[in-house]
Structure 1
């Protein structure tokens, strides 16, 4: 009994301390009570490295011992959260820190300004953003004196945090390496001049992910490249009605963070397609990325800076990129071109549903119904199909043509050739089928064959 008591006391004495006896600092956890009465600004700068990945040190404390973990020759990644109306820590904090350190040996600094961001009044939190930026500048000045370079600084800002990152970048005249804005806040910032929000001049490379442009996010371009998943609004899997409670308000807004975190894993790359509009992307008008050769279409998230030189040299340096995602991680969709040449004498219009099947029975489906396609005689019609699985070996394929006619005659779509080619893996040989008749709203299944040489 006495031995057990001694062991318990030892455990309690070590609680909150690292293996070397140092205090482990944690993200500030507040409550709705704090949000109602208000909080003054107090910032913790929590440092994580591979040497102390489970025990953060606070760089903002006087005489902090955290600097012994800092490696000035490595990248510095700052994670800056946004408005916290209930005071609780963001649910994604632990994941993004752990995944960054797993991906690369770096200095990860979590900017905890929860005391300041926690309030029921959004405008009060927004008013403190420049003060947070001043605190970050003080830290970065010290890191630069100790041998770090401006190019090694990478700021990831969420919502209000994206504009904080922009303010920091402004103070260094855009010489910091990179800023990623994750659904930058729209309220109080939309329409503001450049010095009052994030913009492309704030870093050598600025990339932005917009997921709630019709709600809490910012609609217009803010970076060298702006990614608009699913058009930038109404993310798949997010609630569509108020009956879902708080998730209705924050799910779309938070999706930018979860999309970014998914890019830190090796499961798949999320490919985006530079385009003037979401409509043009969905109509298959922007799937050609020849301008990026010898590279491919840009990818979302952490790896986006591989295309930095192309986007920064653009004049004007602004690019919009669109793509669709699945409802849950890893969110990737695999893009194909479905190309029809019909031989109907009269023009046909309608929608296509395509299924791909493997030999062992796995199936993936794409419904191309956002806009009726037009099929002209002997003219190729290109449709963009997106699947949540990528089958390297397609054993069978099915097509359903639907004219949309409720009253009146049913039409046939006479297909001279249909070709399926992967945009995800452009080196993969396309598959074809010749001389096919699709009845209105009837599924037709067939075995595709390699395309003839002259049809490649």
Structure 2
């Protein structure tokens, strides 16, 4: 028994120093994490308790707490590097945003930068109206931090503020304080409630930074519909997002914010993945889907803007757009990017009444990769061409189609005669991608199958 206890004591003497080193190591690293809000905080109406946390390539997994009065020279902050600030928005549950660590790490992986995470959970939880009221004070605190960064070697144009929902308008407040001299603001589905009818001095707008961009994904509910940047990207029209149409039984909350938060996940994907998220300047989403905005060279921008970290969205420095609406389609799953194709149907013979058809586009292994439902007009119509833009998931090559004639209880199917069905990848100004065609389609059957070939 004595030998047994001697072994235990010996083992303990070996373990305790190791534990002490580990504990002391954590203390010396002084890692910081988000606060947690509670109803007690709300009822007591505590101070904002804003917390700033710094991540760099020297400490990618251990956020260092920083303070507006800190001596930044003793931290990992490097004033010669760009600085990106992440500003979350209203938090209904008072919990840490699930996406914030991923966004910060992807930014550090993509660029050698300072990443500052702004934690204002205490002031952003529960009552939305109060969170909006707190945004002005938050903007002032962030501005004080940036001013101190500038005093330690940073330049105004080296700052990039990434604001989510209400955080996007906070970024606008900060930009306004610096008279639009900060480098860049990215608004990820900027909040709509309380801001849709606000003046430009009360919300994000193009004058708040050298380059302001916004990604809209829920403009009919939690997001704003008006353009607020130099370039405004509208995902699938800016409203309903693929994959968000059905309630998730396990989480009603996730279903409610699915469209709203899609802008965040898509932006993270644009940093991590190399497939381009290209958008097309257009007057409206309807005009875009009807094939009226297919060549960016016909727009004043002279090129198609892209979502991601490209400088000025991939536009040249001498272009000064303002509130340009740009539209793109996405898939329902990561990495969300798709190719856009213009489908042109040249009709030859029309029937007595309109005919609904569904065209399914197939890859080279005949898997379904896109569907298009449209109406073939009747012979009284003067229209002989139908144009539509479709998304195409970026796997495999488009090889064939099926056409299904859709009948109703009132009308029977009738023969349709299509002189040519032509498909071209957008933008059309790219001459290296020739169109592909199926010619002389005549069918009165429920299903027609045809394979693409060269155009005549």
TM-score (norm 1): 0.88
Does the 8 Å contact 1:239/1:247 carry over to 2? Answer: no
Q: Which has the larger radius of gyration?
A: 2
Question: What 5-or-longer segments of structure 1 have no aligned partner?
Answer: none
RMSD (CA atoms): 2.7
After TM superposition, give the deviation of residue 409 of structure 1 in Å: 3.3
Question: What 5-or-longer segments of structure 2 have no aligned partner?
Answer: 1-10
Choose which of 189, 199, 205 in structure 1 pairs with 2:205. 199
Counterpart-to-counterpart distance in 2, 1:147 and 1:291: 42
Q: Secondary structure at the match of 1:264?
A: helix
Counterpart-to-counterpart distance in 2, 1:216 and 1:6: 53
Choose which of 37, 47, 50 in structure 2 pairs with 1:30. 37
| Number of residue equivalences | 440
Change (3 A) 1:148 1:24: same
Change (3 A) 1:403 1:339: same
Using the TM superposition, name which of 104-113 and 145-154 deviates more: 145-154
Counterpart-to-counterpart distance in 2, 1:69 and 1:88: 27
Aligned to 1:398: 401
- 2:418 aligned with 1:415: yes
Change (3 A) 1:50 1:346: same
Render the CA deviation track for 1:312-345: whole Å, top value 9, x for unaligned.
Answer: 624xx22111222211211112211222222105
TM-score (norm 2): 0.88
Change (3 A) 1:36 1:328: farther
Counterpart-to-counterpart distance in 2, 1:391 and 1:107: 39
Counterpart-to-counterpart distance in 2, 1:7 and 1:439: 83
Does the 8 Å contact 1:57/1:66 carry over to 2? Answer: no
Counterpart-to-counterpart distance in 2, 1:100 and 1:62: 26
Using the TM superposition, name which of 163-172 and 399-408 deviates more: 399-408
Change (3 A) 1:242 1:389: closer
Aligned to 1:213: 219
Does the 8 Å contact 2:279/2:304 carry over to 1? Answer: yes
Aligned to 2:188: 182
Q: Secondary structure at the match of 2:304?
A: coil
Does the 8 Å contact 1:28/1:115 carry over to 2? Answer: yes
Counterpart-to-counterpart distance in 2, 1:15 and 1:311: 51
Counterpart-to-counterpart distance in 1, 2:319 and 2:216: 19
Aligned to 1:86: 93
Aligned to 1:279: 286
Q: Secondary structure at the match of 1:238?
A: coil
Counterpart-to-counterpart distance in 2, 1:131 and 1:229: 32
After TM superposition, give the deviation of residue 80 of structure 1 in Å: 0.4
- 2:120 aligned with 1:113: yes
Render the CA deviation track for 1:258-314: whole Å, top value 9, x for unaligned.
Answer: 111111012411121211111112222212212369974222233372345589624
Q: Secondary structure at the match of 1:246?
A: helix
